[in-house]
């Protein structure tokens, strides 16, 4: 007896006037937007323009959809080329039937074309995109729920999914293992593992993507064993099970033998210097003005415009002709500090020269950072796009030699 079950939607399409809005396609679209958003933020942290994520998606998504459909049709040809099949159903992707293995292969091929076009590292992009891709897969799996497809064995568990009569594989059995839910939860766990590993134990370039493939295929292996939908078999196992085993072992091998540099995150200042992050507004300094009104009221009436002029220009530039204190008189109020009084040895000129030299060095160093955004040579090791500034054109931080004052 079934005590509880997850209900299935009564329909998977909503009509907005003459336009049908299919839940299966909507889940894929939402997943793509999430993947692009997450990938863009992670690319920016690695010193790349976040818009690269959407530019690569223009290539990867169409190739991924075509690859997913081709894999599904090839792995289950009877539904389209069999005795009761209809070859025209091949193009009806809104009814379901997208193989994840074809999606990964096709999407990777499209991403490879795009990264070559924009001159960036495919391995670096893959590491940035891996968490977003697995999140998109978690969202896309709910399209199977709307279509009432790709569920598992018959079950009476309280979280079993209830399937309508016309979608039941076993006539008369209405509740089955919700494999779409299992895969969604597993994908969320994988996304969390990838983010934690990338933050605490940054792997070499390309290794995080290999870890994503290994973890996903390991979970897909046991989830695939629960499914009972029609599929081709090799040696008594579904083709998808063999695919999961081969791909998982290949990813683990690549993870073990790959030797590549680590791509650290850029600081906020480096991101702003590259123009890939908005500059934060400078903090406003707060000046305490308590008692100012009382002090002004207590000031003598003789303090006229000359006094105001003196206050505005500061003690170092007081002109004795204006009636203010004489800087030559060490006993007068407001006299110039002893460090700024020139002596016979010319210490004032030396101090001014040193200050000017330090200012010039600071300005040159700032120009270097603004030109390159990151330390010299690190852009090439990151594999940044050609659209970003080259690291070889920075200016020297050594200031020009200052003339000696007499």
Residue pair 64/112 in contact by the 8 Å Cβ criterion:
no
Q: Look at residue 305 and tell me whether its pLDDT is greater than 60.
A: no
Whole-number Å distance between alpha carbons of 248 and 213: 7
Q: Which two tokens stand for residue 366?
A: 């700032």
Residue 149 lies in a domain: yes
Q: Which two tokens stand for residue 134?
A: 């697995």
Residue 6 lies in a domain: no
Domain count within the chain: 1
For 62-76, 81-95, 123-137, 320-334, which range has the lowest pLDDT when averaged over its residues?
320-334
Residue 349 lies in a domain: no
pLDDT at 239: 86
| Beta strand ranges found along 242-382 (DSSP E) | none
Q: Look at residue 54 and tell me whether its pLDDT is greater than 60.
A: yes
| Averaged pLDDT score across all residues of the chain | 74
Residue pair 198/208 in contact by the 8 Å Cβ criterion:
yes
Residue 348, Cβ neighbours under 10 Å: how many? 14
The b-or-e profile of 249-268 (16+ CB within 10 A means b, else e) is eebbebbeeeeeeebeebee
Whole-number Å distance between alpha carbons of 124 and 46: 9
Whole-number Å distance between alpha carbons of 251 and 203: 14
Q: Look at residue 71 and tell me whether its pLDDT is greater than 50.
A: yes
Residue 119 lies in a domain: yes
Residue pair 224/240 in contact by the 8 Å Cβ criterion:
yes
Residue 376 lies in a domain: no
Contacts of 361 (CB under 8 A, 6+ apart): 397, 398, 399
Residue 312 lies in a domain: no
Whole-number Å distance between alpha carbons of 223 and 180: 9
Residue 160 lies in a domain: yes
Domain with 162, as residue range(s), is 13-206
More confident residue, 310 or 47: 47
Q: Look at residue 182 and tell me whether its pLDDT is greater than 90.
A: yes
For 199-230, the pLDDT digits (tens) are 988 888 899 999 999 999 999 999 999 998 87
Residue written as tokens 């009084």?
Answer: 341
Residue 188 lies in a domain: yes
Confidence class of residue 340 from pLDDT cuts 50, 70 and 90?
Answer: very low
């Amino acid at each position: 007896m079934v005590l509880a079950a997850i209900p299935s939607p009564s329909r998977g399409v909503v009509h907005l006037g003459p336009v049908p809005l299919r839940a299966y396609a909507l889940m894929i679209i939402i997943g793509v937007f999430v993947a692009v958003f997450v990938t863009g933020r992670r690319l920016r942290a690695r010193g790349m323009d976040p818009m690269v994520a959407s530019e690569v998606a223009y290539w990867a998504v169409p190739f991924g959809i075509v690859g997913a459909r081709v894999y599904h049709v090839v792995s289950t040809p009877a539904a389209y080329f069999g005795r009761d099949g209809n070859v025209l159903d091949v193009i009806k992707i809104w009814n379901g039937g997208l193989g994840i293995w074809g999606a990964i292969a096709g999407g990777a091929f499209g991403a490879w074309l795009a990264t070559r076009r924009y001159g960036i590292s495919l391995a670096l992009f893959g590491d940035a995109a891996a968490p977003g891709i697995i999140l998109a897969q978690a969202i896309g799996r709910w399209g199977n729920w709307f279509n009432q497809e790709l569920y598992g064995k018959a079950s009476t568990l309280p979280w079993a999914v209830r399937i309508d009569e016309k979608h039941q594989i076993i006539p008369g059995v209405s509740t089955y293992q919700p494999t779409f839910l299992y895969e969604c939860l597993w994908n969320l766990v994988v996304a969390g593992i990838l983010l934690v590993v990338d933050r605490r134990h940054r792997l070499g370039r390309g290794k995080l993507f290999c870890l994503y493939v290994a973890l996903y295929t390991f979970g897909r292996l046991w989830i695939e064993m629960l499914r009972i939908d029609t599929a081709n078999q090799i040696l008594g196992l579904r083709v998808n099970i063999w695919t999961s085993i081969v791909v998982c072992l290949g990813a683990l091998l690549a993870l073990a033998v790959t030797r590549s540099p680590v791509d650290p995150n850029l600081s906020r200042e480096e991101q702003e210097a590259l123009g890939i992050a908005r500059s934060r507004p400078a903090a406003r300094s707060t000046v305490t003005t308590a008692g100012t009104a009382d002090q002004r009221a207590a000031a003598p009436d003789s303090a006229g415009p000359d006094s105001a002029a003196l206050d505005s220009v500061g003690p170092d530039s007081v002109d004795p002709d204006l009636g203010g204190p004489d800087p030559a008189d060490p006993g007068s109020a407001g006299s110039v500090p002893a460090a700024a009084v020139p002596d016979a040895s010319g210490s004032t000129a030396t101090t001014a020269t040193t200050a000017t030299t330090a200012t010039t060095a600071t300005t040159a160093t700032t120009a270097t950072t603004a030109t390159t955004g990151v330390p010299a040579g690190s852009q090439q090791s990151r594999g940044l796009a050609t659209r970003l500034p080259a690291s070889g054109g920075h200016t020297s931080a050594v200031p020009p030699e200052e003339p000696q004052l007499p």
